[in-house]
Amino acid sequence: MLFGNKSSGAEWILAGLGNPGEKYAKTRHNMGFLTVDLLAEKQGVKLNKVKFKSAYNILHFGGARVLVMKPQTFMNLSGEAVGEAARFYKIPPERVLVIYDDISLPVGKLRVRPSGSAGGHNGIKSLIAHLGTDQFPRVKIGVGDPGGAPGERDMIDWVIGVPSQAERKTLLEVFGRAIDAAECIIGQGDCQKAMNLYN
């Protein structure tokens, strides 16, 4: 089999990005963590194995064996964890699917992309550095922005802030759609159909 042996191999990586620890658990920057946690819950498993600087498990999802991971490196070093897992399982970048927050999208808007720049997102910057390419699919979850004049400090406070109750309600529904989009990408082997359905 192309991607290692059947019993333990993974054919895809699905990485939800975020920051570890209770302090960050429900913040805007943890949309990726919250989405893959919901996926694991739906499948009745826990992401409780520890390797690749991550909490992870291997799930059957989208017709494939998928390493679902939450890097524990903190957001800005996410690529260390994802790169290590990709090398271990010999998974090419086009089968590394990443779910993360995006401040340039309105709250609850999804955007599926087959590739692209980091767009100022440090987690994605780290992934591009460690995978050596920006040619990997992603599902972005809009968290809105704080508005006002651009200021680095405001932006950091915003992404590590907790969404309002109204935003949380919207985001909870979006996690389910993000999972559906991820399943479509993995099942189809490319992003086109998911882009048509979910963008």
Residues involved in catalysis: 29
Torsional class of 71: left (φ above 0), alpha (ψ -120 to 50), beta (otherwise):
beta
Torsional class of 185: left (φ above 0), alpha (ψ -120 to 50), beta (otherwise):
alpha
Contact 93, 131 (CB under 8 A): yes
Report the relative pairing of strands 64-71 and 49-51 from DSSP bridges: unpaired
**Mapping DSSP to helix (H, G, I), strand (E, B) and coil, where does residue 138 land?**
strand
Cα distance from N-terminal residue to C-terminal residue, the chain: 34
Contact 55, 19 (CB under 8 A): no
H or E stretch covering 154: helix 152-159
Contact 42, 48 (CB under 8 A): no
Sign of the alpha-carbon dihedral angle for 55, 81, 167, 59: negative
